[in-house]
Every structure is written in C-alpha cells, then in structure tokens.
Amino acid sequence: MNNSKFSNVKPKISVLVLTFNQSQFIERTLRSVVDQHSDQYDLEIIITDDGSSDGTVKIIRDFVGSPLVPITILAKNHEGVTAIAKNLLSMINLSTGDFICFLAGDDYFSENRFSAQLEKFACRPSLKISYADGINCIDGIFGQRCHSVDTAKLMESGDANQVYRHLVSATPVLFIQGVLAKSDFLKIIQPFDVDLIADDWVFNIKVFQSLIADGGDFDFEPNVCFIRNIHAENTSRNLLVHYERVRQVAERYCSNADLITSKFVGNALISSIKKKDKATFIFFFGKSIFLPISIYWFLRTLIASAVRKIFRF
C-alpha cells in the first residue's frame, strides 16, 4: 500500500453490524471480524441490537473481552424492520474509521476479507467504493455465488450510469456485505432512507446517484469476501415484508414502479404455491387484482417451470 495516502498511517476500518435474535450465529460473525486483525490496518466494530430476546446481547458482551478489536454495543428496544435504515445511518455517523463495511449478525466474513479491496484504494485515489462477491450458505450448505454472472459483468464494466439504470428498472441483487467504502463518502451521501423498509437497494441507488452527479469511481472484487447465511428466520424469506420493501422503494425511486411490483407479485404467487402457503397466496392474489400484469409474470414463470420439467432442463 505504498501509494496510499495512508502509507505512513494505518487506515482504520469500521465494521457495522445489525443484530436481532441471532444468538446461534453472532459469535461466529464477530470472530470472523476479529480474525481479520492485521498490522496493516486497525478495526473497530459497532453493533446495533434491535431488542433481541434470545441472549444475543449477552453473547456480544461476553465477546467484548477480545483485546484486538474495540467493540461498541448499542442495545435498543425492538423496532423491527422499519428501524433498519435508521440504525445503519446512526452507525455510519458514529464510526471513526477511514473505511466502512457492513455485516448482518448472522453472516460472516471470509479470510483476508479486506486485502484486495484495500490494495485497490491504495492504487486508485478516485475510488470511493468497492463491492465484492460472496457465497450463499443455505441451511449450512454452501451454494452459489451471491451475485449472478450478469451482475458481476455489469459491476466490472465500471459504468455508473449503466449500473444506475439497472438499479432503478428492476429489483436488483447487489449486496452491501461486500462493500468497502470511504467513510467520508458515505457520511456525505447518507445512503439510507429512514422512511422506507429498505437497506441494500436504496443504499445502492444513492451511491450511484452520487457517483454520477459528483464523480468518483467504483469497482467489483470477484473473490468471495463474505458468506451470506440463508435460514428460515431471514427477513428476505418473509414474502410479505419483502413485498413492502419492493413496493416502497419502487414507488419512490423507480419510474416503472407498477411493473417492478407486478413482477414481484407474480413470482410471490409461484413461491407461495411451492411452499403450500395458502394465506400468502391469498394475500398476493388480492394484490394481483389491482396489478393485472402480475398474472402475466405468474403464468410466464409457471409455464417456464413446466417446460423445464418436461424437457428436464
């Protein structure tokens, strides 16, 4: 990192963690951060717990004894998904690092999570934010990469306008667990919307709005930097909560909100059938009455699935 402005002073990375009832995961999460300890940079961990009732906070406090990395705990009363954006912004503003990254209380970092991205910042003064890939771990079994091949190619293009168009025309999959960003950049743009049930999507929209308006670079690190732990308690598996996220963000930030929401409703109908979830199916069938395009997406997905089974694709 000889070319970095931090060549004579070690950079500091602030790791921001949200937790809620993640007692079975949180020690592994924190260990994966502390294991990143290096003489090349300093670390701090800031944790906001949203009123856990399962002992998560006790486990965190017991872990705080680690001398390698200072840990700040903000234990709050439970507010639910509506407080995600507020809590993330609060931690951004409290952070003291030169760089910021994010981690959910049930996910964890891979080994040497920061090395490649820090080298990029050292070599590119105009770089404001670096994204990285992860891998899905579904009920303990490692699966596919978090980002599709198409998403990786889009990010590797380096074209902020192209990425922004994608972000506001679909429901994108671009995870902030792989982000390493300059702290001053995030503190200026305040990249979450406290009025919405949203995190990654709004964050990414605001990041690329700023890159287009004010300049600066981004990049994408293809190596795995985080493990996304997928299990029954993930809010992303709750279709009703996820629907509200999609609807709210689409209505505020996207010009084709009805199309985006309709596609989600159509896919949710398919998902509820697969899960044999009658109540969820009825909910989304009711939504489809007011979003008739969703029936098109429902039938299209249904037919495509049937064709794959017939021909065993």
Please state the pTM of the whole predicted model: 0.91
Positive or negative, the Cα torsion across 82, 83, 84, 90? positive
Query: Residue 2: its pLDDT value, please?
Result: 43
Please check whether residue 145 is in contact with residue 133, taking contact to mean a CB–CB distance below 8 angstroms.
yes
- H or E element, residue 101: strand 99-104
Task: Read off the pLDDT of residues 242-270 as tens digits, 9 standing for 90 and up.
Answer: 999 999 999 999 999 999 999 999 999 99
CATH of domain 12-230: 3.90.550.10
- H or E element, residue 12: strand 12-19
Please check whether residue 210 is in contact with residue 96, taking contact to mean a CB–CB distance below 8 angstroms.
no
Q: Which of 95-99, 243-247, 267-271, 309-313 is the least confident region?
A: 309-313
Task: Read off the pLDDT of residues 154-165 as tens digits, 9 standing for 90 and up.
Answer: 999 999 999 999
Cβ neighbour number for residue 41 with a 10 Å cutoff = 19
CA atoms within 13 A on the CB side of 127: 23
Q: Which two structure tokens, joined as six digits, stand for 293?
A: 């395009």
Q: Could you give the percent of the chain with pLDDT greater than 90? A: 83
